[in-house]
Amino acid sequence: MNIFLNASSGIPLYEQIKAQIKFQIIGGLLTENEPMPSMRVLANDLGISLITTKRAYDDLIQEGVLYTVSTKGCFVAKPDLKKIRTTALKSITEKLEDIVCEAKKYGVEVAQMREIFDGILNKI
């Protein structure tokens, strides 16, 4: 399981884990009914506390992204790609709005914002 954590980013570790698991599902790296590494194993692999992986898994189960089979472990649920994408789009749109709003207060012109944004899109 390839997950990369940044302890000093300020973003909670469990949120970083949750996001990367979702990315892998969206990207097809994790497929329906595939077994997830156990919380203990993942905690060990990442060198973090079991509590942290548990928090991430619990959240994902709660969101319906994973499901748990007692004594067997956690598995990837049937991915509701539409829901995940809709949620993601909503979150992204909101964040963009916040930034645009902030930029406006700093006196950044619309044309300049578009320029910056295009620059980023072209770079990736």
Partner DNA sequence: GTGGTCTAGACCACT
Partner DNA sequence: GTGGTCTAGACCACC
What are the residues binding its own copies (CB under 8 A)? 7-8, 10, 12, 19, 22-23, 26-27, 62, 67-70, 72, 84-85, 88-89, 92-93, 95-97, 99-108, 110, 113-114, 116-118, 120-121, 124
CA–CA dist 44, 119 (Å, integer): 40
CA neighbor of 1 nearest in space, from 59, 40, 68, 46: 46
Contacts of 72 (CB under 8 A, 6+ apart): 35
Q: Which does 49 bind (CB under 5 to 8 A by kind): DNA, its own copies, none?
A: DNA
Q: Which does 1 bind (CB under 5 to 8 A by kind): its own copies, DNA, none?
A: none
Q: Cite the beta strand spans of the chain per DSSP E.
A: 66-69, 73-76
Residues that bind DNA (CB under 7 A): 12-15, 36, 38-41, 48-52, 54-55, 57-58, 61, 68, 70-74
